[in-house]
Amino acid sequence: MEAYHISLNEATIEELNGVISSGQKLAIAADAAEKVTACRTFLDQRLASSSDPIYGINTGFGSLCNVQVGKEDLATLQKNLVLSHACGLGETIDPEVVKWMMLLKVKGLSYGHSGVQLVTIKRLIDLYNEGLLPVIYAQGSLGASGDLAPLAHLALPLIGEGQLWEEGRPKPTKELYWSRNWEAIELQAKEGLALLNGTQFMSAFGCYLTMQSIQLIDAANRIAAMSLEAFDGRIEPFGEAVNTVRNQQGQMKVAADMRKLLEGSAGMKRHKAHVQDPYSFRCIPQVHGATMDVINYVRTILEREINAVTDNPTIFPELNEIVSAGNFHGQPLALALDQLALGMHELASISERRVYKLISGQRSLPEFLVANPGLNSGFMIPQYAAASVVSQNRQLVTPSSADTVDSSNGQEDHVSMGANAATKAYRVIDNVRKVLAIELFNAAQALDLRGVDEASPMVQEYHKKYRKVVPFIENDEYMHPHIIKSIGFLR
């Protein structure tokens, strides 16, 4: 497979997700390499010809910005920065997210406004291509001066420090370098700051979670269609006219998806004794559609970010300028990730309500979807489990972006908390998958009891695939393994 060349062209989330999921190698394109080299040359010439203070390049960092550093110590300054900022805490993050971080860091540096050496970018690419992923921790970033602590852990292996994942195990960088006869990179002026400043922790989580969310909302619609069939629901709320007059894009798209999923259903055509369905069924287009709109908004914000330069200072060789500003501030991502968490939570919230209806003994379905209720508890407790997870999500979706704290002696006096929004959204979306898996577990059981042959061809096909993984439950049995398999099915 030909390598994916990081160039000056803009990329989409789907494009980069394809690179990661396919295991495609990376390379830097000629246009980007030329810009990187030109920027580094400009910076070296500026430092050689002038002793004027330039933030983070020949000065200290944060509130130490007025402390100037001599030319003989500029490389040490950058190495010290990486070592001192590697203060990550908590659990290690998903290796898939680390891949996103590495790819996005290479992408951001390759625009030629960061002043890094070409060899530094190439080492990041080598690590990625070898499957040697830095060990990075979930806690420690304020999401403001970039994702300092997580990106310091990403940068540690470049200088021969820290740990790298190899075949699922963390190993010392020094050991892995020795086995490959690699030398550590000697960071030059500005490079440590270029590596640590940036929003790649937040944006990596955002891209990963956006792709997860796109997959999960498609699953949510399929599962909801099965639940509707099993609950003997009505088709009218999904009609084109009634959803078009609401004029919400997500709602119209979900209604169209539901019509397609339910096309050819004998159950939908059957005469109904009930005039209308509960909100959790009738308002699927409105609720799922609002979440779809949030996902599309978040994707727009992220695609701007992954095609951006977010370290500081920013170097413009063509303008003969080095500008210290705030492109590393994560506010756009913090707000977007908080919205993504809230939007996805609602998929789980309404899903749990459909589960509650399916087990309630209404519309000719047995209580708790099992023969001999009383002797059997059936699907009573999966609903409890779903309700517990939804309750936890309600606590998690309090926005991280509403918080801030002074740091660096007040020099950095407003922070985004976007990293906390990112890791929190990760937990929320993982919980959403669990709740949808429980709904699918219930919906498939209820549809078997209602009669699978009455359902639409698409719902029948989805049910058939699911039944290859999770069986019909005749009498009470150990439910946990079935729920775990149901979660796996959704992955």
Q: Across the 491 residues of the chain, what is the mean pLDDT of every consecutive 10-residue run?
A: 95 97 97 98 91 77 68 84 95 97 98 97 98 97 91 98 95 96 94 94 98 98 98 97 98 98 96 94 98 98 97 94 92 97 98 98 95 91 98 96 79 83 98 98 98 97 98 96 98 90
Residues 210, 94 share a domain:
no
Residues 221, 370 share a domain:
yes
Residue tagged 């390598």 (tokens):
3
Dihedral sign for Cα 271, 276, 277, 282, please: positive
Residues 298, 418 share a domain:
yes
Spatial separation of the C-alpha atoms in residues 97 and 299, rounded to whole Å: 16
Yes or no: say if 489 and 433 are a contact pair by the CB < 8 Å rule.
no
Final residue before a domain boundary, out of 168, 198, 228 = 198
Residues 469, 390 share a domain:
yes
CA distances from 360 to 46, 367, 390 (A): 74, 6, 19
Final residue before a domain boundary, out of 198, 232, 263 = 198
Yes or no: say if 331 and 418 are a contact pair by the CB < 8 Å rule.
yes
Yes or no: say if 92 and 139 are a contact pair by the CB < 8 Å rule.
no
Residues 257, 240 share a domain:
yes
Number of structural domains the chain divides into: 2
pLDDT at 333: 97
Q: Token pair of 85, please? A: 């900022």
Residues 224, 127 share a domain:
no
pLDDT at 77: 85
Single out the residue of 200, 219, 197, 220 nearest to residue 208, CA to CA.
200
Residues 177, 247 share a domain:
no
Instruction: Look up the CATH number of the domain holding residue 98.
Output: 1.10.275.10
Residues 240, 115 share a domain:
no
pLDDT at 36: 98
Q: Token pair of 423, please? A: 């890791």
Question: Residue 365: which H helix or E strand, with range?
Answer: none
Q: DSSP 3-state assignment of 90?
A: strand
Neighbours of 217 (CB within 10 A): 25
Final residue before a domain boundary, out of 155, 179, 198 = 198
Cis ω on the peptide bond leading into residue 313 (within 30° of 0)?
yes
* Domain that includes residue 440, residue range: 205-490
Residues 463, 315 share a domain:
yes
Residues 178, 137 share a domain:
yes
Catalytic pick among 55, 111, 426, 466: 55
In order, the DSSP letters of 216-280 are HHHHHHHHHHHHHHHTT--SGGG-HHHHHTTT-HHHHHHHHHHHHHHTT-HHHHS--SSS---HH
Main-chain dihedrals φ then ψ at residue 272, nearest 5 degrees: -110, 135
Instruction: Look up the CATH number of the domain holding residue 363.
Output: 1.20.200.10
Annotated active-site residue 55? The verdict is yes
Residues 411, 376 share a domain:
yes
Residues 155, 254 share a domain:
no
